[in-house]
């Protein structure tokens, strides 16, 4: 893990649970069910559309949990900077930004104690999707280019698929945090909206700082046991 950025001293914070549920009441119930098996929660756009998003953020931080506000800020730089500045008052640990260098710079300048993570290429995208969006380079080249720009912009890290981890670490070493979504335990079936996935073991072996896991925990027969199983896997890989 990146000692320069001092992400955490708690290995269990390496697992971030994606709280992809439609209502904050469901989110709170899941937190209670998961107990101490999860200490870090990602709250995204779906929950943002529900009542009580920021009350949920405050409730989580008040219980000693870390919060990743995955809102993928994308707007004119002044608006992004102002939004990040407001978010920083909530005590969140991570926030995401999407966009060009000016947008990333604005977020980084306004971040306060929040670590800003730049989105490289969504794990739902494949080569055909990039063609559709007008990108002529391959996914690996795009991810590396955006990661270099994130570093130059003052961002703390990036969101990147596990498939791009080795190249990121080779090119940039540990100068950026790398948070990896699209994690699928080997016994979990892939789903249609995640095209570039890796296992827990591969992600950490290749240099991820944290992983984001949603459905394999949320949809498990016993979510707490599923989370604990992933924590045990992480401990086994990292020693």
Looking at the annotation, which residues are catalytic? Answer: 72
Whether the CA torsion 150, 109, 177, 92 is positive or negative: it is negative
Closest CA to 5 of 231, 209, 235: 209
Q: Calculate the alpha carbon distances from 97 to 74, 77, 94, 115, 194 in Å.
A: 6, 11, 10, 11, 20
CA separation for the pair 219, 226 (Å, rounded):
9
Closest CA to 202 of 171, 173, 234, 232: 234
Q: Could you list the beta-strand ranges (E) of the chain.
A: 15-18, 40-43, 66-73, 94-97, 115-119, 157-159, 177-180, 210-213
């Amino acid at each position: 893990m990146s000692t320069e950025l001092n992400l955490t001293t708690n290995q269990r914070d390496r697992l971030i649970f994606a709280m992809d549920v439609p209502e904050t009441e469901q989110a709170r119930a899941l937190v209670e069910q998961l107990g101490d098996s999860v200490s870090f929660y990602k709250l995204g756009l779906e929950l943002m559309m529900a009542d009580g998003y920021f009350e949920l953020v405050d409730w989580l931080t008040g219980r000693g949990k870390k919060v990743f506000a995955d809102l993928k800020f994308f707007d004119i730089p002044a608006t992004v900077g102002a939004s990040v500045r407001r978010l920083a008052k909530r005590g969140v640990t991570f926030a995401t930004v999407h966009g060009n260098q000016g947008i990333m710079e604005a977020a980084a300048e306004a971040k306060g104690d929040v670590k800003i993570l730049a989105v490289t290429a969504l794990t739902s995208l494949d080569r055909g999707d990039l063609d559709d969006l007008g990108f002529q380079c391959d996914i690996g080249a795009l991810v590396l280019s955006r990661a270099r720009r994130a570093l130059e912009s003052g961002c703390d890290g990036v969101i990147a698929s596990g498939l791009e981890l080795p190249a990121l670490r080779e090119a940039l070493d540990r100068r950026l945090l790398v948070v990896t979504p699209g994690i699928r335990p080997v016994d979990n079936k892939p789903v249609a909206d995640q095209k570039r996935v890796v296992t827990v073991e591969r992600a950490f072996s290749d240099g991820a700082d944290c992983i984001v896991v949603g459905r394999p925990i949320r949809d498990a027969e016993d979510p707490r046991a599923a989370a604990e199983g992933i924590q045990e896997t992480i401990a086994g890989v990292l020693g």
